Amino acid sequence: MPILSIRHLTRYRYRKPVMLGEHRMMFRPLESYDQRVLSASVTISPEPHLLRHVHDVFGNAVGVASFLERTTELCFESRVTLDHRPVPAFDGVDSYEERLPFAYSAQDMPDLLRSMERAFPDPEGTVERWARSFLRRDGGANLQRLLADMTQAIHSDFRYGTRLQGGAQSPAETLASRTGACRDFAVLMMEAVRSLGLAAQFVSGYIYVPPRPVTGLIGTSRLGGGHTHAWLRVFLPACGWVEFDPTNGIVGNADLIRVAIARDPRQALPLWGSWSGESDDYLGMDVEVDVVSEEEPALSATFLPDRQPDLRTGVG
């Protein structure tokens, strides 16, 4: 399934005409050796007064739209055709036997430091204890096995639930409840591997959901289809950045289409902006995401989340 077509529609509805502030969007997938954009377009209604594109500090493609007129509906529709050719994780690497905490080279360390910093307080050491439960008794670990085991543990032991608005839960909350959305699971694993001295980053994008059962996975399909998805990546010197999707137990980026990479999930929102009006003018938001292979139909879904006055769309 090398060629994928992605349609991402977000529609905001208002009781009466409101003024729109600047809106910033991350819809265009990142170009790399394993994914190449063949075509990309964004249709915005009402038509913006000005639409420009920039790269953020991580190199993500960000569209910036400015508006002049009032409106009762704001709609963004992104369409992308992508050549998607994922390669196996740890390709050509036999093992990663290390004693933790892991130490990067002096050359890599300056660029990785911010991605190694913990983002949530862990005063009781709950997250670190959970992370260290994947080590051997002598404190050593095969990093390839440890990261795969942690990915599978979240997939198997935690209950997934869609939540399209609001920030990520704290890792302690996710551990305590054993439930979360994809961004909650990504943040938990990021904080866990960071506690072991590894650099981790948040990834936002889409997941292709095959219409038939996925071999080797519990259940009949991928989780996270029908809206934007989130996972993480970890830096290992011999492999570079390796992706992990704890929501689905995926090691590598099979069926995963990366759009934005960031140190913190708040830096990778698919769409955010502002509007001016009365507090009860906001009526709701509709989100539709379809990811279709050239060979097979894909899952299509529409979600109607609750009130979201700051216009920030989150990931499942």
Say if CB 245 and CB 316 are below 8 A apart: no
pLDDT in tens, 195-227: 999 999 999 999 998 776 555 444 446 765 667
Q: How many CB atoms lie under 10 A from the CB of residue 66?
A: 14
Tell me the CATH number at 216.
3.10.620.30
pLDDT at 1: 58
Which pLDDT score is estimated for 96? 65
Domain that holds residue 39: 3-85+268-303
Residue 278 phi, psi (nearest 5): -75, 155
Q: Does the residue 73 lie in any domain?
A: yes
Q: Which residues of the chain have pLDDT under 50?
A: 216-220, 297-315
**Residue 300 confidence (pLDDT):** 40
> Number of structural domains, the chain?
2
| 188-205: b (≥16 Cβ within 10 Å) or e | bbbbbbbbbebbbbbbbb
The answer to the question of residue 314 being in a domain is: no
Report d(CA 188, CA 204) in Å as an integer: 15
Q: Do residues 151 and 248 share a domain?
A: yes
Residue 315 lies in a domain: no
pLDDT, one tens digit per residue, over 250-290 is: 999 999 999 999 999 999 999 999 999 998 999 999 999 99
Shared-domain flag, residues 255 and 280: no
